[in-house]
Structure 1
Amino acid sequence: MESRQRRKTERRLWWQAGLLVMLMILALAIGSTSQLTLPVFLHVRLPRMLGCLLAGSGLAVAGMILQTVLANPLASPNILGIQSGAGLMTVLSAALFPAAFGLRMPASFLGAFLASLFVMLLAKKVRASRSTIVLAGLAVSQIFSACIDLILTLAPDSLTGYTDFRIGSLAGITLNRLLFPALCIVGAIVFTLLCARQLELMQLGQRDAQCAGLDVNRWMLVFLALASLLAGSVISFT
């Protein structure tokens, strides 16, 4: 029975992988221009297709990590305030150093990690349950969103096109801008796969995982850092 279920899962994964490859090819072949030229392929369609692939995979893995660690199917980067934290640090770096575009990527990751760490410390302080952590994340997300609005009110020119930034866009994305986030996202996904055993033990609960020999507190920080790196990397180019 178990082997049959495994084969069924493998077949489904292969079908999904084939569908993904087909959609990637269609994204490169079909566009607003009828004639596909090399500049359009290299500077418009290829970067956007890769950006979509990186953003989707990064946020999906980040959500899977958070849902596993917190044992809550509602956990996600936006609900726990990770995306708002990344956005706040990105806006703050743009307001303080408008010409230093290279600072936005590390600032985005720092904000994402500090947001997740703040939520965890807040929950640990009051001995909150994992469900309460999600509620704390929602509150932190609203606070960070208010801070973003405050910065934009005090410095309205700090981030040109902030509406597009808040919604998210791949317009104007280039291969050079994707290079560093791609390395971070792919590296974080590979590291997550290598730590699959520890992640599975986290599903058992804190007490059972500790009985199995897992340092729960250390690995929780590791996985929070991975989820923050994934979410922050995606936000930095979208």
Structure 2
Amino acid sequence: MVSRHLKYHINDLTADLLNLIWPATCQACGERLFKTEEAICTNCLTQLPRTNYHLWAENDFHKLFWGRIPVMYATAMYLFEKESPYRKLIHKLKYKRMPEIGIVLGREMGYEIKDSVFNEIDLIIPVPLHPKKKKMRGYNQSDMIARGLSEGMDKPWRADILKRDTHTTTQTRKGRYERWENVNSIFSINPKTSVRGMHILVIDDVVTTGATLESCVAELLVNGASHVSLATLAFAHS
């Protein structure tokens, strides 16, 4: 019988051999990854155009919701700029079946905000996809971000609480009012769960007008959440 130690050694050798033949590369810059790196190289992670919004209460992302819906805290990890090489990371995460990008970036954001006011949150909830869209993509990209964020913050996450009941059309190229109308009242709380008295952190990939997040916040507050905060990987100025 092969010992467990030998099995691990064989697996490591196999992984090393495969990496020689098909080396893993950074999804941002294309350079070869080191053995300890996953999806994005350390250099690119350190070069992310960070906003530091988690340190600034009256940031542009938080202001987006002023007068619309009560949001406790709001942060975005980086700006979604047209010329940024990191913009393609979101595209690969959403459309190229690369869930590991969401996990890595979510974990990085978790490390960054865990010692800020966001440490007050009780539970992380990703913005849900409609089952049809989730089946088409193979996964919900916000689930992947929430999973990584949970690891980085050491906070629990659940994807079975908030449900998307209506399959909406894409938000791309819609104006602010059209986006709000497209997602108004499309979410509901799973009746077998509860958010009563909890401070919820809602997670998404990119925010532009905030219409989808506004709808999520409204549903959570109506169902008894004490506070709702928001975190996204990127913020695109509309």
User: TM exceeds 0.5?
Assistant: no
TM value normalised by structure 1: 0.24
The structure with the largest strand share of the pair is 2
Greater length-normalized contact order (CA 8 Å, ≥ 6 residues apart): 1
The structure with the largest helix share of the pair is 1
TM value normalised by structure 2: 0.24
